[in-house]
């Protein structure tokens, strides 16, 4: 049975009713859709969607996501300590001898040269990156007491450690072996 305001299947097809004696019912009026109305509604939906995405991204970045650490820590892969060796003793070729010794033990000596002064009394190990353990490892390898490990962080150096060779170099491992 047909509902009162609903067109019958035969009346919606555009053909006259077949046998059965159904009466013609008026077709409902179709409201023409204007392209301007669709475009306006589409723009509102698109703009609203963009605003929601931006709000979500802001909230996620500011409150939900953990802060990004400036240092990358790779687990399971040992970090090779990078250092430079500077000769502050005034004795020629000493930086090369210390460099060879440290490289043979797996350290990455990226630079060697002379220190600004040539009369440094005791050998020092300087922590340049905030990784005190790396500086202590270098000190241990050279036979330098940990009390002579100093923090002098230099973010522009891109090094972990600096070794400054002093006049006490004869007491250290590179010259004892």
pLDDT tens digits for range 114-135: 999 999 999 999 999 999 999 9
- How many angstroms separate the Cα of 169 from the Cα of each of 48, 71, 84, 156, 157? 72, 34, 16, 28, 25
Task: In whole angstroms, give the CA distance from residue 143 to residue 170.
Answer: 11
pLDDT in tens, 60-101: 666 765 554 433 444 555 789 999 999 999 999 999 999 999
pLDDT (mean) for 142-153: 95
Q: What is the C-alpha to C-alpha distance for residues 99 and 84, in angstroms, rounded to an integer?
A: 8
Mean pLDDT (whole number) for 2-11:
52
CATH architecture of residue range(s) 82-176: 2-Layer Sandwich (3.30)
**Coil, helix or strand at residue 23:** coil
pLDDT for the residue numbered 87: 97
Query: Higher confidence at residue 36 or residue 119?
Result: 119
Residue 65's DSSP bridge partners are none
Average pLDDT, the chain: 81
pTM of the entire predicted model: 0.57
Q: What is the pLDDT of residue 38?
A: 66
* DSSP-derived 3-state class of residue 84: strand
Q: Residue ranges per domain, the chain?
A: 34-67, 82-176
Write out the two tokens for 153.
């962080």
């Amino acid at each position: 049975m047909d509902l009162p305001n609903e067109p019958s299947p035969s009346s919606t097809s555009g053909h006259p009713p077949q046998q059965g004696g159904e009466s013609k019912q008026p077709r409902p009026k179709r409201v023409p859709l204007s392209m301007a109305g669709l475009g306006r509604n589409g723009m509102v939906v698109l703009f609203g969607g963009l605003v929601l995405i931006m709000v979500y991204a802001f909230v996620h970045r500011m409150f939900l996501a953990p802060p990004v650490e400036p240092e990358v820590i790779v687990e399971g892969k040992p970090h090779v300590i990078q250092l430079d060796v500077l000769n502050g003793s005034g004795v020629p070729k000493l930086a090369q001898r210390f460099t060879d010794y440290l490289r043979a033990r797996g350290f990455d000596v990226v630079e060697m040269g002379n220190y600004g002064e040539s009369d440094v009394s005791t050998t020092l190990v300087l922590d340049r990156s905030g990784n005190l353990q790396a500086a202590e490892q270098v000190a241990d390898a050279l036979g330098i007491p940990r009390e002579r490990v100093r923090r002098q962080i230099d973010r522009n150096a891109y090094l972990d450690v600096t070794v400054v060779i002093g006049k006490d170099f004869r007491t250290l491992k590179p010259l004892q072996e």
